[in-house]
Structure 1
Amino acid sequence: MNITARQFKAAQQYPWLQAAYYHEDVVETTLGAAAIAEDPNIITPGIGDAIPLDYPDALMGGVHSVHVSPETEASKRAHLSRPGVTDPDQLITYAPATDEFLAEIFH
């Protein structure tokens, strides 16, 4: 996880940030996997770029949106309502971290 000491301290104080930082790490790890990172047909916006919140995590062929999302109904519903997302197959889902797991990371 690539966060600053200040962000880490904030996550300890505000537990909702823990899931957000964990999600960011999962997205970076997923997009950094060789099968994705080395595929010239997949464009990723890059880590740390200033992009809109609803911008896709990746574009296949420059036009097909792909999002990395926790595998919860609320997250899937939210991502499926974003521009350019018309099919659940455009979501790469992962099991959300438990509160206990996040507490191990941030405490």
Structure 2
Amino acid sequence: MNNLVEGIIGERPKYFRAPFGSNTDFSKKVAANEKMLVMNWTYGYDWDKEYQDKKALTEIMLNSSYLSNGASLLMHDRKWTREAIEDIVKDFHKKGYKILDPKLIEKPE
């Protein structure tokens, strides 16, 4: 699959996130063989019906008990997420958090 992706976009995938976060021994082995970094999220709520509007999503993302340094946030390409993302990022900065460029994450050699 990575050969196909690389053929289309000209770059080999570097990160692996298992569907539903279900990393198995097999998927971890495949990722290691492909020299990919296995990623998972700390938290995310935009899939939950309760948080499918800008205000509710912004509130939970900023005030989740899971928010901490190094947290990896799961957000999907959804209307309510697009509407909330600017406020979420601005308010993270107000709380003293920074958004990390994924290029800074160390990948397996």
Q: Structure 2 length as normaliser, TM-score?
A: 0.33
Larger radius of gyration: 2
TM normalised by structure 1 equals 0.33
